[in-house]
Amino acid sequence: MLSSQNEQMDLIIDVGNTRVKVAVFENNTLIETVVFDKQEIIHEIKKIIGKYTIKGAIISAVATLSEEKIDELHKVLNLLELNHETKVPFTNKYTTPKTLGVDRIALASYANTKYKGKNTLLIDAGTCITFDFVDKKGTYLGGAISPGLKMRYQSLHNYTSKLPLLTTDTPKSFIGDNTNNCIHVGVVNGIINEIDGTINQYKSKYGDLTVVLTGGDTIFLAKQLKNYIFANPNSVLEGLHEILIYNRADD
C-alpha cells in the first residue's frame, strides 16, 4: 500500500517533446509540480507515488511516449489517457477533432470550467503559440497556431546564411540600430503585436472577453502586452485535472 495522509490526490502527467511536467492535486488544489526529462518518466513517477497515495491519474502526451512506458504506468496508476475520444467538459466544434492537440483540449477544458459562462481566449506561448477560443455557451470554436519565440529566432538563423542565432531579449526600442537589435525587435515586437492584435480581433466580435496567457514564455510576454490578461503558467495542468474529474463523475 502506498503511503499518504490523503486519499483524494490526483496525478497529472503532461508529456512534452523532451520533458515531462507532473502535478499533484489534493482535491482541487495544486500542491506540487515536478519537471524532468522524458526518459526518466517511470523512475520519477514511482518516486511521486511513493510519496503520495494517488486516487487517479491522467496523461497527456504531445510527443509520442512508447507503449511500453504507457503499459508500465498503467501497472502503477489508475490512468486515463487523453485523446480525441476522451469525454471533455465542453462542446467541441473543431472540424478535425482527431488532429486537435491534447494540450489544446486541456486548455479548452480549463476555460470552460474556470471561466464558465464567459467568452474565453487561451493563449499558450510555448514552442508554438496557440490561440484557443471557448464561447460563453461552453463551445470550443478553434483558434490559431503560429511559431513561438525560440522557433522564430531559430528560423531566422537556419534559413539565412548570415543572421546569428540569438537568445530571447526585450528590445529597448521598436527601431533596431544594429542586426542583433533588429532581430529582437522583429521577433519580440512581432509576437507582442500579433497577440495584442488577435485579442483585439476577438474583442471586436465577442466584446466581453476573458484572456488567459499560459506556457513557458508567459512571464516574459505578459508584462509587454497592452491588453489586460490573466497569466497562469499551469492552465494546461489544471485543465487536465478538470478532464480527469469530469470522467470520474461519469463512471
Which one is catalytic: 14, 103, 124, 217? 103
Q: Which grid cell sits at 218?
A: 508567459
Contacts of 74 by beta carbon, 8 Å cutoff, 6+ apart: none
Residue 148 C-beta-side C-alpha neighbours within 13 Å: 19
Write the pLDDT tens digit of every residue in 84-126. 999 999 999 999 999 999 999 999 999 999 999 999 999 999 8
Q: What is the DSSP string of 64-129?
A: ---HHHHHHHHHHS-EEEP-TTS--SSEE--S-GGGS-HHHHHHHHHHHHHTTTSEEEEEEESSEE
Q: What is the pLDDT of residue 2?
A: 40
| pLDDT top residue among 62 and 180 | 180
Instruction: Read off the pTM.
Output: 0.88
With cut-offs at 50, 70 and 90, classify the pLDDT of residue 27.
Answer: confident
Please name each of the domains of the chain with its CATH number: 9-81 (3.30.420.40), 91-239 (3.30.420.40)
Does 103 qualify as catalytic in the annotation?
yes
- Give percent above pLDDT 70 in the chain: 96
Distance CA 185, CA 100 (A): 32
Q: What is the pLDDT of residue 6?
A: 45
Q: What is the pLDDT of residue 7?
A: 56
